[in-house]
Each structure stands twice: as structure tokens, then as C-alpha cells.
Amino acid sequence: MAEQFAIGVDYGTNSVRALVVNIATGAEVASHVYDYPSGDAGILVDPRDPNLARQNPADYIQGFLVSVREAVAAAAKTPGFAADRVVGIGVDTTGSTPIPVNAAGQALATLPKFKNNLAAYAWLWKDHTSHAEAMEITALAKERNEPYLAKCGGTYSSEWYWSKMLHCARTAPEVAEAAHGWVECADFIPAYITGNTHPDTLARSICAAGHKAMYNEQWGGLPSEEFLAALHPKLASWRYTTKAVASDKKAGELIAAVADEVGLPAGIPVAVGAFDAHMGAVGAGATAGVLVKIMGTSTCDCLPSPLEHELPDVPGVCGIVPESIVPGMYGIEAGQSAVGDIFNWFVKHLSPAAYGNDAEAHRKLTDAAAKLKPGESGLVALDWNNGNRTILVDPLLTGLLVGQTLHTTAPEVYRALVEATAFGALTIIRRVEEYGVKVDQVVNCGGIAEKNAMVMQIYADVCNRPMKISRSGQTCALGAAVFGTVVAGAHPNVESAQAAMTGVKETVYTPIPENVAVYEKLYDIYRLLHDAFGTADFHGSLHHVMKDLIQIRSRARRGE
């Protein structure tokens, strides 16, 4: 039988990657990365508002055409590959990244009238301009005793769909008036390449709708028109009635105009889109009991749980959505608003000249920090430099470093920041387990997991469980390709495709008992600071924290 291939197209924060995969083995035949040309590394910002982060939808379209064309051309050099052996295409994107569109589904930002209006562009996931609107949505849902917050942790986020649209309606009425609807980037790309762009008929992802737009079949889909109109009349007019579906469903087929541009035959099935982390979880082998951590500038934690076992509502998670990760299972999502971004912030702005402020500085700081024992720095940090996504769901929280002295070094601070992100990861694991969802394995993926052994060992020690690494370094694109094979019928279901195409590396980071013991003490301090600065009902005392850190530091340096 001739070899067959699928293409996964992964839209990240700064670039888009197309990956060509052998569907029988998971072998990654070719890939190409297209860096977004607009703004600062693809992000449009406003110096007057540090919370603003937008992107150019034209970059998304050009990114698909260039990355897929170049990946297919590179794959053509591989024996056994031919363009007509590509059976399916899958797409993943950042989210929530909604785009205002006209009645034809054209992004308003691509129209001359809105060229200089950032509100008409894609509202990137990390845009926090709508934090006030998010609080308003939460308050109204609670006041009216609506069920909408039950499946998204009890608090609506400024990173999500409706809060961004409400902020636009309030602050950019000219864009709101021109927008027939809003389309998540995860739906926008499949719509474009299949030719079904009308916002009332295009395929809508259950991943995007369920986790970010309060969509659930229990209450008939999206929140009611009455509820949305109470926030702003425009929101009610933007409420779509299309049934949101999982990514094992077909969004359409590749149209000739796009196929000709990328060197593929028309008619290839295209899967319904989803968010990058969720497809990354599939590409890393996520299934019941297997938590996948997609580690990058931020992290997203994805954990499937069988539909036949009813789940309680878990406060603080980003969502519990049927079939948002793996069909036939609930998808539980949590995450941290900044991880790699925290390390990069330190290197870029605070790293001493001896280490520099570029990629090499990460290596130098890591090498020095790896020589430190747990607790030796006497430091504990909070990982909230970009707010808290889980479990506090509060974008107005900030970072904190406790215990520094005139002798504190850059590697000590760097390690403390890594430890803080690990403590945040443990807080998420403990929250889902408190509500009866067992975490049997943790699989990590992304550049940090692949390249930084110190980070992975710290995570193993802090979480007191083995840390596995996905076999693929491109799990999001691989997961998208998995869904491409399923909608093509080349694999009967996601589990079958995962068995053939995914896996983990031989290297496993196991907890070191003496490190675990120290980190348990440090985590107690982290959690005290977490509750003191992050919750309204904290009634404890912080007077002993610095002294406790000094004691832990002294013991570590004496080797006790």
C-alpha cells in the first residue's frame, strides 16, 4: 500500500508551522515555519496600554499559504511522498483569539477603512484590555444565577471571547457596528481554506466555544440572547446558533484556489479547528489520567476524562467541555498565564552583563542555577507576572519575589522563578485531584520541556511525580495532523491515530526524595503567599515567611 500523509498547521503566538506527517508511523517528513511579519514578532501593541495585544489576520492567511507550500515542497524530496497522498489537514491556533468579520466572513482588519484601527484586528489570547468586562460578565452571571460559569471554573477571564467583544463594543463602536460577527482564529482558518466563511454557517469548534465562549448543550449552546443583551445589545446580535462540534468532524474540503497556491489537490478533507494546546495534548498522547503540559511562553494543561464518569464542576479551571480534547471524553483545561515569558522577562530586563540578555543567557543562567540545591537561595516567587489563569483566574495579580538579600545572585533568582512556575503547576494538579480527577501521568511538550533538563527535574521534584517528554517536538501540529487523518477516514478514531503517530521519549525525570522534602516546605510558603495575595478571605500571618526561608536556606547550605 502506498504511504499516506497528513498535514498539521499550528498557529502559535509568533509564527505558523506546517508539518507533514506519515500517518502510519508518525514520522515527521517535513515542516516549514512562517514568522508573522506584522508588529513586534507578530504582535501589534499600543505603548499607551500594556494590556493590548492584537494580530493581523492577513498574516494568518499568508502564513497558511507559505508554510504549507514550503512544507509540501520539502516533503517532495522524501521517497514515497506525493501531494496526492495527503489525505487530510488539521489546524490549531491560539485562543481565545477572536476576529471581527463582515457578513462575508472577511476580517475587518483587511479592509482599507480599518487598516489603522487595532480594534478591527485579531484580539490575541494574551490581550487583557477587557479585564473590567470579564469581571462584569462574572458578576452578571452570578447575580442572575445563570449556569454559564459552572463549566469554566466559576470566573470569566479577560483572555476570553465575550469579554473581548464587550470591550470592543464599548470602546470601538465603529468596529462593532461594522462587525456582522466574530470568529475564533481556530475557526477562521478552516473556514478560509474550505471556502465556507460566512459567520452564520462556518464550522464552530467545541474546543473554542466550550472553553472560552460559555457554550454548553446543557443550556442550549451559547448564553441566551437576553443575558448577552443585558451586557450590550451588540453581543446578542453576534450570538451564533451553529452547533459547535469536535475536531473529528469535517469543516469542509480544501478549495481549488487555496490548493493551487500550496501545491495540493483540491478536495482534501479539513478537520474542524481547535486550540493549539488541546491538539498538542492529542499529539502528546493525552487520554484518561494523562495530563499533558504544553510549555511555552505560557502553559496549558489538558486532561481528558471519560464521558461516562460524570465530573463535578472544578473551581478555577479554564473549562470542562465534552470532547474538546479527545472525542468521547471530557476535556479539562487549566494553565498558567506566563512561564517561558517569565524566564524571558528576567533575561531581557534584569540579567547582569556577565550573562547577557539573549538566548545564550538562558543557557548560562540554567547551568549556574542547576548547581544550586533546592532551598539554597532562600527565595520563593509567585508566578503571576502576567496574572493568574488557574486557579485564581485574576489578570490583575502580579509577580512577587520574597527572601532576596544583598548577596542574592542572578542564577538564584532565575531558579526561584523556575520553581515558582513548578509550584503553580502543582497547584493545578492538586486542584483537579481534590475534585476526584486522578492524574496518573504527566507528559510535557514544548521547547522548554525538550531543551531544559533543570526545569524538568525541578518540576518532577516539586510535583513529586515522574515527568515524561513527548516524542515529538511539534506536538500541536502533530495533533492537528492526527485529526486530519480521522476526518479523512484513514484512522477510525483519535485513539487509533495516536497509537500509530504519537509517543514519549525514553528520558524520564524522576523525583529525587531529598529534593522533594525541601520543596514540600517551600511549597507551603508559596501556597501561603498564593492565598495571602490572591484571595479575599485570607486571615493568616506572613510575619514568619522570611525567617522560614532563611532557616531553609541555612539547612540547604549545610547539607542537612
Question: Where are the extended beta strands (E) located within 272-384?
Answer: 274-275, 290-295, 299-306, 319-322, 329-336, 380-382
CATH of residue 336: 3.30.420.40
Mean of pLDDT values over 341-364: 93
What is the residue range of 461's domain?
Answer: 288-471+512-560
Whole-angstrom distance, CA of residue 196 vs CA of residue 470: 34
DSSP lists the bridge partners of residue 88 as: 6
* 504 part of a folded domain: no
Last residue of a domain, one of 274, 303, 331: 274
Contact by Cβ (8 Å): 464, 511: yes
148-173: pLDDT as tens digits: 998 887 889 898 999 999 999 999 99
* 494 part of a folded domain: no
**Are 211 and 330 part of one and the same domain?**
no
Give how many domains the chain has, as a whole number.
2
Mean of pLDDT values over 37-57: 95
Give the pLDDT of residue 461: 98
Residues 89, 95, 98, 99: what is their CA dihedral angle, to the nearest 10 degrees? -50
* 496 part of a folded domain: no
Nearest alpha carbon to residue 535 among 399, 391, 413, 428: 391
Whole-angstrom distance, CA of residue 39 vs CA of residue 216: 36
Omega before residue 391 within 30° of 0, cis: yes
Q: Is 402 helix (H, G, I), strand (E, B) or coil?
A: strand
Give the pLDDT of residue 62: 98
Last residue of a domain, one of 225, 249, 274: 274
Mean of pLDDT values over 104-111: 97
Q: What H or E segment, with its residue span, contains residue 89? A: strand 86-93
Whole-model pTM? Answer: 0.86
Give the pLDDT of residue 466: 97
* 490 part of a folded domain: no
Give the pLDDT of residue 1: 63
Whole-angstrom distance, CA of residue 46 vs CA of residue 44: 7
Contact by Cβ (8 Å): 420, 382: yes
Nearest alpha carbon to residue 375 among 523, 508, 498, 252: 523
**Are 209 and 343 part of one and the same domain?**
no
Give the pLDDT of residue 505: 95
**Are 224 and 309 part of one and the same domain?**
no
What does the mean pLDDT of the chain come to? Answer: 95
449-501: pLDDT as tens digits: 999 999 999 999 999 999 999 999 899 999 999 999 999 999 999 999 999 99
* 146 part of a folded domain: yes
* 298 part of a folded domain: yes
Mean of pLDDT values over 203-219: 95
* 484 part of a folded domain: no
Name the packing angle between helices 453-463 and 410-434 (round to 10°).
40
**Are 266 and 353 part of one and the same domain?**
no
In this structure, are strands 441-445 and 290-295 parallel, antiparallel, or unpaired? parallel
Give the pLDDT of residue 154: 83
Of the candidate ranges 144-148, 283-287, 356-360, 434-438, the one whose mean pLDDT is the lowest: 356-360
Mean of pLDDT values over 207-236: 96
Helices (runs of H) and strands (runs of E) counted in the chain:
19, 21
Give the three cell numbers for residue 104.
Answer: 462575508
Q: In sequence order, which residues have a C-beta less than 8 Å from that of residue 141 and are 6 or more positions away?
A: 148, 149, 156, 227
Last residue of a domain, one of 245, 274, 303: 274
Whole-angstrom distance, CA of residue 467 vs CA of residue 504: 11
Q: Is 129 helix (H, G, I), strand (E, B) or coil?
A: coil
pLDDT higher than threshold 90 for residue 417: yes
- The dihedral built from the CA positions of residue 470, 502, 125 and 433, taken in this order, carries a sign that is negative
**Are 396 and 420 part of one and the same domain?**
yes
* 280 part of a folded domain: no
292-316: pLDDT as tens digits: 999 988 898 999 999 988 888 888 8
Q: Which residues in 83-97 are b (16+ Cβ under 10 Å) and which e?
A: bebbbbbbbbbbbbb
**Are 329 and 259 part of one and the same domain?**
no
Q: In sequence order, which residues have a C-beta less than 8 Å from that of residue 515 and are 6 or more positions away?
A: 374, 457, 461
Give the pLDDT of residue 246: 97
Give the pLDDT of residue 418: 98
**Are 251 and 298 part of one and the same domain?**
no
**Are 451 and 344 part of one and the same domain?**
yes
Mean of pLDDT values over 394-402: 94
Mean of pLDDT values over 112-141: 96
In this structure, are strands 467-470 and 441-445 parallel, antiparallel, or unpaired? parallel
| Measured CA distances, 202 to 219, 240, 252, 479 (Å) | 21, 10, 9, 22
Whole-angstrom distance, CA of residue 208 vs CA of residue 69: 27
**Are 205 and 305 part of one and the same domain?**
no
**Are 298 and 330 part of one and the same domain?**
yes
Mean of pLDDT values over 72-96: 96
pLDDT higher than threshold 90 for residue 42: yes
**Model confidence at 446, in pLDDT bands (50, 70, 90)?**
confident
**Are 64 and 157 part of one and the same domain?**
yes
Q: Is 297 helix (H, G, I), strand (E, B) or coil?
A: coil
- CB atoms < 10 A from the CB of 118, how many? 22
DSSP lists the bridge partners of residue 7 as: 20, 89
**Are 240 and 308 part of one and the same domain?**
no
SS3 content of the chain, % helix, strand, coil (to 5): 40, 20, 40
